[in-house]
């Protein structure tokens, strides 16, 4: 991947990214009901590894409020949330929060169970990785997932991320093992 000089690199990623069959689109409050319904349909399996996946989040009002906060975070440059769209249907979410040390972004994702097995999240994660590494000041992207979350860990493997380390963390969901895998990819030197 050829990187632009620092002075030519954007401060934030594109609001819409097309990657094969997948469109990543900055979420809007108009997405609240669809995202809430998707969470509700997948709540049991999401709650296995994701502490945020509790009954109250599968509500359109709660999602509306979260999306409003997400828009502020986007504008402040602290987090970039996307819906994953296939054939004009929201099938999941991806995001790039700045919750790791400077110079890096974490990439997170989840997908509707009915949409699994088609490579959508791999396409989305590949595109978001490239967009993140193109940003001013970003030289690495990390994917964090529990060692027990085999499907999630398969994505960084497919994309050529390297397992940097496994950290011991508190177990807060029923599926977690307490072994948090930290997968890392780095952009070419600027």
pTM for the model stands at: 0.92
Question: Which of the residue ranges 1-5, 6-10, 72-76 would you say has the lowest mean pLDDT?
Answer: 1-5
Residue whose C-alpha is closest to residue 92's, from 42, 149, 19, 30: 42
What radius of gyration, in Å, describes the C-alpha atoms of the chain?
16
The per-residue pLDDT for 190 is 42
Instruction: State the Cα–Cα distance between residues 130 and 110, nearest whole angstrom.
Output: 18
Phi, psi of 149 (to 5 degrees): -90, 80
How many CB atoms lie under 10 A from the CB of residue 150? 9
- DSSP at 28: -
Phi, psi of 48 (to 5 degrees): -60, -35
Strand, coil or helix: 142? strand
The per-residue pLDDT for 184 is 98
What is the per-residue burial (b if ≥16 Cβ within 10 Å, else e) of 83-110?
Answer: bbbbeeebbbbbbbebeeeeebbbbbbb
Summarised one tens digit per residue, pLDDT across range 49-108 is: 999 999 899 999 999 999 999 999 999 999 999 999 999 999 999 999 999 988 999 999
The per-residue pLDDT for 189 is 55
Instruction: State the Cα–Cα distance between residues 3 and 162, nearest whole angstrom.
Output: 20
Summarised one tens digit per residue, pLDDT across range 150-186 is: 999 999 999 999 999 999 999 999 999 999 999 999 9
């Amino acid at each position: 991947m050829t990187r632009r000089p620092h002075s030519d690199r954007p401060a934030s990623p594109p609001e819409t990214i097309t990657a094969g069959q997948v469109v990543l689109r900055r979420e809007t409050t108009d997405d609240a009901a669809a995202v809430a319904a998707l969470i509700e349909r997948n709540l049991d399996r999401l709650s296995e590894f994701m502490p945020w996946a509790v009954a109250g989040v599968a509500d359109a009002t709660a999602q509306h409020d979260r999306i409003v906060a997400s828009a502020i975070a986007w504008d402040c440059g602290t987090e970039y949330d996307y819906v994953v769209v296939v054939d004009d249907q929201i099938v999941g979410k991806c995001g790039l929060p700045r919750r790791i040390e400077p110079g890096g972004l974490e990439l997170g994702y989840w997908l509707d169970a009915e949409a699994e097995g088609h490579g959508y999240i791999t396409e989305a994660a590949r595109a978001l990785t490239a967009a993140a590494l193109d940003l001013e000041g970003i030289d690495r992207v990390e994917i964090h997932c529990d060692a027990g979350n085999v499907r999630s860990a398969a994505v960084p493997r497919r994309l050529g991320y390297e397992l940097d380390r496994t950290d011991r963390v508190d177990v807060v969901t029923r599926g977690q093992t307490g072994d948090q895998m930290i997968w890392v990819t780095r952009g070419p030197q600027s």
